[in-house]
Amino acid sequence: MTNATIPPGFRQVTKDEFFTALKNDPRDIMPSIAYSPYSSTWETRNREAWGWTVPGWKNPRDERIYALKQ
């Protein structure tokens, strides 16, 4: 299990809520592991944070957490 803490300014959502919001957003949003190997920050093409997920590439079997920028 992870000790991940959702970053300030984000709110936890379900997996379905996360991917529904992603599908409905017309911007080009992609995950980035530039900030941490233990989580992914989802960003627009302009590097605006959009969402946040766990696990990252270093802990692929860890619990799953989804969060959207508030």
What pLDDT digit, counting tens, does each position of 1-36 carry? 457 899 999 999 999 999 999 999 999 999 998 888
* Portion of the chain with pLDDT greater than 90, in percent: 71
- pLDDT, residue 2, reads 58
- pLDDT, residue 56, reads 82
Helix (H, G, I), strand (E, B) or coil at 59: coil
- pLDDT, residue 1, reads 47
pLDDT tens-place string over residues 27-59: 999 999 888 888 999 999 999 999 999 988 787
For residue 53, count CB atoms less than 10 angstroms from its CB and return exposed for 0-12, middle for 13-18, buried for 19 or more.
middle
Count how many residues are written for the chain: 70
Bridge partner residues of 66 (DSSP): 13, 53
Helix (H, G, I), strand (E, B) or coil at 8: coil
* 38 vs 23: CA distance, rounded Å: 24
How do the domains of the chain map onto residue ranges? 11-69
The neighbour count for residue 18, using CB atoms within 10 Å, is 20
